[in-house]
Chain A
């Protein structure tokens, strides 16, 4: 796979599948029903490029594999997962050993669930981590910027509110010397000002030449700080757009799903499109969005559209986007 110069992270043709045991469909009502081993492909042909100094927002349907992407980059998927494709960090192939070495030092994660905090460890010690010397001063200044009360470091995770726990999680990643932060929905539960502060801190990091992958549902906040937006649907990237495209509205976007996302924002109509994202075990042939797409043609159902470049962004749709 050809490498562009100077990218921080490059992902090409990434697929993730899980080995699992399911009832044989045809034998479901059979008295001899038995378990069958199947591979459930949850991420397919995914592309993502992250440059230094950039915030790439990852938006998209819940269950489209956004968090799995984070786990795949860090190499922390469970044992029954199979990863195929090319992952390059600073131009070098990511191997399991390299992932182990990079995670926590070069690449930091802001986990999605507040349940990732150690329930038996006080927050302050947890954020300082095992680094020597302990970065207590940096932690204090981070907590202050986040407006966390002075007593917070002495609390246990169960004593925190949802928004406080989020701010603590974001601090754990910001305090590290990481070159790349993967923030998996860092802002829910935070008030608007706190969320803005968190994103401002990410922006400062990116401006120092580091990079952030910001997985989020708060598209309206993300586009204020991000450079590019990757839109995920059913385990693949359907569009990579500039953040400014989302600001200028649906006409600047390239994929019908991105347009639907824009239209569903509470401030832009709150209009949901019909239907649901297909289940990973039951994907349609052809374009994954075709069953819900208002512009589908027989060709969309027949084959998976390739990725094309349109107006500087990338889109996986065969239509010329001038609906």
Chain B
């Protein structure tokens, strides 16, 4: 039971050199894997590949030894680095949340989402407030794996600790696998069960 990247190669067009070259990584269910790599290495590209937003040029992304499903809600959900770019600017927040299923009251409570925010547009919320919606949206979809691409860098440390507590508790309850991309070594040591540094493996 795992999500695997097997020898993947990726570039956006043929004139470019490889962004990811022969990259291999796997995460088991119930595991939290922290990924380190220098800026510009291709961490976000890797996150998009793992969650099926991009297709590798060579190599495979395997979920339980099968390719990612093409239909329905993807069991691998991505939470992006920039929440302001991950929500539809013309939707009210309620619509953004309901994209991944019916709204439960307890979700709002767990993430500290105020009822009044639901009627607002994304530009009327701060980055940290928006990110809570993005995390809630990903968890509500019933995903088996979460790819967290620097999800807490724009949050204050108290909110960061709160959000990770909810994510980790939910992950433990549902036995989810997590890939956490981060620059913060201290944070990685707190949350991860395993840490890999991609800059050394190439």
Contact = CB atoms under 8 A, between A and B. Distances in A.
B157 A276 contact: no
Interface stretch (B61-69, B70-78, B136-144, B148-156): B148-156
Contact of B155 (A112, A217, A220): A217
Nearest to A161: B40
A151 to B, nearest CB: 11
B7 interface: no
Contact of B156 (A62, A115, A167, A194): A62
Contacts of A29: none
A60 B162 CA distance: 15
A281 B183 CA distance: 35
B38 A191 contact: yes
A125 interface: no
Contact of B153 (A189, A265, A279): A189
Given A113-B84, A114-B82, A273 B183 contact: no
A63 interface: yes
B187 interface: yes
A265 B38 CA distance: 22
Interface in B3-54: 38-44
A250 B154 CA distance: 23
Nearest to B199: A191
A264 B154 contact: no
Contacts of A261: 156-158
Given A60-B156, A62-B155, A188-B154, A164 B189 contact: no
Contact of B158 (A61, A161, A194): A61
Nearest to B114: A279
A49 interface: no
Q: Which of B44, B153, B155, B185 has the most CB of A within 10 A?
A: B153
Contact of A163 (B40, B116, B129, B156): B40
B155 A276 contact: no
A271 B161 CA distance: 7
A61 B156 contact: yes
B161 A63 contact: no
B126 A67 contact: yes
Nearest to A194: B39
Given A62-B129, A62-B155, A162-B82, A265 B44 contact: no
A214 to B, nearest CB: 14
Interface string B143-174: 00000001001111111111011000000000
A298 interface: no
B154 A273 contact: no
A191 B150 CA distance: 12
Contacts of B59: none
A264 B158 contact: yes
Q: List the 9 closest pairs (A to B, CB-CB), nearest first.
A: A62-B128, A163-B39, A188-B153, A272-B161, A276-B112, A266-B186, A63-B126, A267-B186, A272-B162
15 contacts: A62-B159, A67-B126, A115-B85, A161-B42, A161-B43, A161-B44, A162-B39, A188-B81, A188-B153, A217-B154, A261-B157, A266-B184, A266-B189, A266-B190, A282-B116
